[in-house]
Amino acid sequence: MNVIRWQRPFLTPWQSFGRLSDLRTEIDRLFESPLAELAGSSGLLSGWTPALDVFEDNDNFVVTVELPGMKKEDIEVSLHEGAVSISGERKSETKHEGAEVYRAERYVGRFHRTVTLPSPVAPDKVKAHYKDGVLTVTLAKTEEAKPKQIDVSVG
């Protein structure tokens, strides 16, 4: 019986992904290096950033944000000068008095996300719905911002 040492399979990288990965690494390095000491000592850059999606149809912009474990009372949504802002605070639910924590990966604390919208929305028609840890904000476009169908006449 021959025993063959396991080797990680070799994958040929796609050139475009390699360049994007290099660019992201460089950008991360530029932002992290000078700010690492400040962020660690002051807490100025602490907090967390929830995942966010934005899409548009003919009538609305829809923003969905993952906010698992949060209460709706701890979430704030505002609209100001063509931008929607979502902020809040996730509070720690458990106390670890007299216990040693081996791993803590769940984010707690304040967050703030702002998305600038590409066209005007009707402030009185904004709806926010929170269910199963996902916040969905629907922003109705103004009539001027909606696409118009133009009939073409012949002759």
Q: Residue 12 is encoded by which pair of tokens?
A: 């040929």
Does the structure show a pLDDT above 60 at 129? Answer: yes
Cβ-contact 34, 98 below 8 angstroms: no
Give phi and psi for 140, each to the nearest 5: -75, 135
User: Which whole-number Å values give the CA distances from 143 to 58, 75, 81, 105, 140, in the listed order?
Assistant: 10, 29, 17, 45, 9
CA distance linking residue 138 with residue 64, whole number of Å: 9
Q: Record the pTM.
A: 0.63
CATH number of 47-92+108-146: 2.60.40.790
Does the structure show a pLDDT above 60 at 59? Answer: yes
CA distance linking residue 137 with residue 62, whole number of Å: 6
How many residues does this entry show for the chain? 155
Residue where the block lists tokens 């670890």: 96
Upper half-sphere CA count for residue 128 (Cβ side, 13 Å)? 16
- Higher-confidence position of 120 and 105: 120
Give phi and psi for 41, each to the nearest 5: -90, -40
Q: Residue 112 is encoded by which pair of tokens?
A: 């703030």
Banded model confidence at residue 66, pLDDT cuts 50, 70, 90:
very high
Mean pLDDT across 88-96? 81
CA distance linking residue 102 with residue 148, whole number of Å: 58
In terms of C-beta density within 10 A (0-12 exposed, 13-18 middle, 19 or more buried), how is residue 51 classed? Answer: exposed
- Residues 130-148 have pLDDT tens digits of 999 999 999 999 888 677 7
